[in-house]
Amino acid sequence: EPEVTQTPSHQVTQMGQEVILRCVPISNHLYFYWYRQILGQKVEFLVSFYNNEISEKSEIFDDQFSVERPDGSNFTLKIRSTKLEDSAMYFCATRMDRAATNEKLFFGSGTQLSVL
């Protein structure tokens, strides 16, 4: 089965620093998502991205967050000035067809972000 690849698997950073999390979507997928999961808590939606622009974002996705697909392959999540509460597992997910309700999401294995 095709895979979504995320790097790095673990990222440790100091509070206030910028981090960039990277995702390589499945090649023919068009719709991209970032989710996060704080340890022991639910999976939370951050943002969705289609046709090189944000389609939807949650209230978590404030001005400190941004996404882009700079080279047509990597899909990145940037946190400009990390806070302690940003510590979480960040998952990239992709799907092929945005219009199909039954089209499943393919998830990457996640990046564990630890803000010290």
Partner 1 sequence: GNSVTQMEGPVTLSEEAFLTINCTYTATGYPSLFWYVQYPGEGLQLLLKATKADDKGSNKGFEATYRKETTSFHLEKGSVQVSDSAVYFCALNIGYGQNFVFGPGTRLSVLP
For residue 39, the minimal CB distance to partner 1 (Å) is 12
**Quick check: 31 and 98 in contact, CB under 8 A?**
yes
Please, is 104 exposed, middle or buried when counting C-beta atoms within 10 Å of its C-beta (0-12, 13-18, 19+)? exposed
- Angle at the Cα of 108 (from 41 to 111), degrees rounded to 5? 60
For partner 1, give the closer residue by CB, 50 or 65: 50
Please report, as ranges, the residues that interact with partner 1 according to CB under 8 A. 4, 31, 33, 35, 41-45, 48, 50, 55-56, 58, 91, 93, 98-102, 104-105, 107-110
Q: CB 46 → partner 1: shortest distance, Å?
A: 9
Report the alpha-carbon distance of residue 68 to residue 22 in Å, rounded.
10
Min dist CB 6 to partner 1, Å, is 8
- Residue number, 84 or 99, with CB nearest to partner 1: 99
**Shortest separation between residue 106's beta carbon and partner 1, angstroms:** 8
